[in-house]
Amino acid sequence: MTQHQTFSLGPTALACGIALPQVTLAYATYGHLNADRSNLILYPTSYGAHHDDIDWLIGPGRVLDPDRYFIVIPNQLGNGLSTSPSTLGLPFDKGRAPKFSHLDNIAAQDRLLREVFGVEQIALIYGWSMGGQQALHWAALHPERVARLCVTCTSARTSPHNKLFLEGLRAALTADATWTGDRFDGHPLRGLRAFARIYAGWAMSQTFYRENLWQGAGFASREDYVQRAWEGNLMRRDPHDLLSMIDTWMTSDISDNPVYNGDLRAALGAIRAPSIVLPSDTDLYFTLADSEIETAMMPDAELRPIRSDWGHRAGNPGFQPQDEAVLRQAVADLLAR
């Protein structure tokens, strides 16, 4: 694992109305903060990911360049490294963990930037999937502090169809015999395997499987791909944390706060940052059509679809250099402004 640090926020009131006596934000940094503190890029984590799952795109000549920019990856609440159901003690364990929201994530990240790094202005926020949701929350809630925005395969408000996908994941995981109704009393092996198989079907496109594109990623068969890339990945995580992040994703909405009172058009219209929105044209749950609707409400945003057979993973293309090139160009175009 890439070395990470922790920032203690102390007693913290969450958006759900529960106050925790201690909240900890885990984060990793890459590169160096310049003298005027103007080169910080914020790169929040996606579903189920730790910082070292998504930092492959950081490097000279990659999407985010640590030779020029200071890149900070904050681990979202609920992911197992920052405060999560798996890290909480009494009275918040054993099925009593509070629900985290992106409002909580942005508040924690805001304190990190101000109190640890002394940074007010963010040069760029880059985010994929749930990381993109956090980026959009930032740009709507703190428009004066976000200079540029690049988001891929994400949404400003979780769509009804996306919620149905998430409900299916939750149903599969909690169908395991170890589920008591509010927590797991053992390791839900069958539930996690079912969860991973459903996820594998939704995350990649039909063409990906029809054309056996998993071969290009070094897998021997479709089953080898599902077991190693999906079961092996998700079974590393605590099941309570996986459910927690589903709740955060389900309720993601940049307008669901006292500033915008549910008015999505007003929230998107408040984003000042020059933005590039990159949906994958084969993403099955963050769809191109949904991105078209949302991007049209942003005053200075370009919709730049990724033409790819890799579905949702076109936005995090560890095995697909063509898709990475699209992301790299988008970031370069924004940073040149």
So which residues are the catalytic ones? 129, 283, 312
In angstroms, the CA 213 to CA 308 distance is 11
Which residues, other chains included, contact 277 with Cβ-Cβ below 8 Å and sequence gap of 6+?
151, 152, 291, 294, 295, 298, 301, 302, 303, 304
Name the DSSP letter for residue 114.
I
Which residues, other chains included, contact 68 with Cβ-Cβ below 8 Å and sequence gap of 6+?
31, 39
Full 3-state SS string of 164-233? HHHHHHHHHHHCCCCECCCCECCCCHHHHHHHHHHHHHHHCCHHHHHCCHHHHHCCCCHHHHHHHHHHHH
Structure tokens that stand for 337 in this block: 């402004």
